[in-house]
Amino acid sequence: MSAAGARAPRLAVLFVCTGNICRSPTAEGVLRRLAHEAGLALEVDSAGTHDYHVGELPDERAVAHAQRRGYDLARLRARRIERGDFERFDLVLGMDRGHLRLLERLCPPGQRGKLGLLLDFAPALGERDVPDPYYGGPEDFERVLDLVEAATRGLIERLGGYLRVST
């Protein structure tokens, strides 16, 4: 293929939280939109460490708060992480250190370099864990969005030069 016909590399990112109904689908929706706006070639998905909500829509509060900021979560469905995900995705990002520890146990040794925390892409925040808003109020869902937006912007900045889509 000629240089003129070459495609930008595509990177696959998976976000992981507990049930895949609040934090990780929020991150999926945010990164999907921001990457598109930045012209980046990304595959984005999310999963849970547990099967509590497999097949369900994201939490209605997460959907509503995200929608107010212009993110669409309404078509996402919860799923549990699968062994093949470690092969399929280039980055597997836990929403908190508990998720990361579980991912480290599940992940084949040769794939562990793909693991990390979402908030590692926003070191200025001084936080490593995106708190679970499930048992909280509206302010907790807004806090999740604030943290996720900051971290996904950091992720996009880090990946931008590598993944820029040519026009």
Q: Which residue, 3, 13, 51, is CA-closest to 151?
A: 13
Sheet holding 115-117, edge to edge: 42-48, 11-17, 91-94, 115-117
Task: Just list the catalytic residues.
Answer: 17, 23, 132
Q: Which residue, 159, 46, 156, is CA-closest to 94?
A: 46
Q: What is the residue whose two structure tokens read 């078509």?
A: 75
